Structure 1
């Protein structure tokens, strides 16, 4: 399949008042194209910090991140914005849907921003596969938590990103909806060959992934 994502010796330190917090210390690992990887760890282990760096939303103090062979940790301005539009999908724990837009409009938004053509058949198929066809014209406050997260997943998938990152995507859901969302991500990886990196504290959800990496051992995961 080939490597699509690589982190090399990623370190990140934060200043919290007078306390210096070492969030990441020389973390290295790689992900294959089409692989679904779950990163697990206790609260405060640095997994969300790592995800934000991999997705280019934060920069490491040391180390490099490569996506499809391109070193991205130094990208800025228009090049960084273009990279995110073309290569990155992101699913947030709190859904981050725009309340003034319908589900359909929320999903369509990344295509409009990137000035990409809309494949209506693909869009309808995506809504059907995620079980949100009946939510098309609903606004976020008219949907359940599970429905909102499925809409967020559709929005992240619609541009067919090189890598889809998910930050605790089941954290705000009940057990039934959490399991459904984890299964949806697993199917997306298998059906579309979508590369997915998910951070979670829930080992049961992590079991849906092809590979599980522990933050405690991630420094030794580079092959």
Structure 2
């Protein structure tokens, strides 16, 4: 459902070339949660921006549901849902108005958008404040709205960038339940995070990024075999020592 092949991106900084993403390759099947993991500066967000078509790679490509980002970025965006730590709600719109607005942006039929809005609102527990102005919501409520917004057009692939950052225990549990729902309905899911303890609970497979390179990839058992370490934190500590 999502294929990343040899993605590479270099930036200029203080007259030096910095390779933010270096020949990155991975693929994700429907119903699979893939953790793209690494410390700050590892290249996670740069990778997501290239998949989304917001950054043009120097080489390599990303393909979503059979469509390459470089060939048809609009079609790719319609196949992607994106959730980040920044909620980005429109404060002067009601929650319902904002969700239907995003449905319209994605070309969803108005009647279908309305029914999906009601269905997802019940699923994520936001039905009681659908008609409240978004600017009056609490942090946790805004995060739930953002999760619904990412699914309003029913994309086959979901990208989650640091989705639990800044959330309390209840908010983090909401994210866990959301990801389990995505798995159940067959979405291909990428979770980018440096919260390695959470990743171990969430993900089916992992890609360990360090300085833009994919150092290890596989299930938890495969990573343990490759590294002789039990937990992701220990694996990354070893990577940091190497560098």
Relative to the length of structure 1, the TM-score reads 0.87
Tell me how far apart the structure 2 counterparts of residues 16 and 135 of structure 1 sit (CA, whole Å).
46
Which runs of 5 or more structure 2 residues have no equivalent in the other structure?
A: 219-243
1:39 aligns with 2:29: no
1:58 is aligned to 55
Tell me how far apart the structure 2 counterparts of residues 187 and 116 of structure 1 sit (CA, whole Å).
21
The offset of 1:188, in angstroms, is 2.3
2:22 is aligned to 25
Q: Would the aligned equivalents of 1:27 and 1:219 in 2 still touch at CA under 8 Å?
A: no
Equivalent of 1:175 in 165, 169, 172 = 169
What's the secondary structure of 2:202's corresponding residue? coil
The offset of 1:157, in angstroms, is 0.6
1:183–1:211: structure 2 CA closer, same or farther, 3 Å change rule? farther
Which runs of 5 or more structure 1 residues have no equivalent in the other structure?
A: none
The offset of 1:60, in angstroms, is 1.0
Tell me how far apart the structure 2 counterparts of residues 138 and 15 of structure 1 sit (CA, whole Å).
45
1:184 is aligned to 178
The offset of 1:219, in angstroms, is 5.5
Relative to the length of structure 2, the TM-score reads 0.80
Tell me how far apart the structure 2 counterparts of residues 53 and 219 of structure 1 sit (CA, whole Å).
20
Equivalent of 2:73 in 58, 68, 80 = 80
Q: Would the aligned equivalents of 1:97 and 1:140 in 2 still touch at CA under 8 Å?
A: yes
User: Which structure carries more relative contact order (alpha carbon 8 Å, separation 6+)?
Assistant: 1
Equivalent of 1:199 in 192, 195, 208 = 192
Tell me how far apart the structure 2 counterparts of residues 116 and 42 of structure 1 sit (CA, whole Å).
37
1:142 is aligned to 136
2:122 is aligned to 128
What's the secondary structure of 2:174's corresponding residue? helix
Q: Would the aligned equivalents of 1:103 and 1:140 in 2 still touch at CA under 8 Å?
A: yes
Tell me how far apart the structure 1 counterparts of residues 181 and 197 of structure 2 sit (CA, whole Å).
16
- Equivalenced residue count is 213
| Structure (1 or 2) with the larger CA radius of gyration | 2
- For the aligned residue pairs, the C-alpha RMSD in angstroms reads 1.9
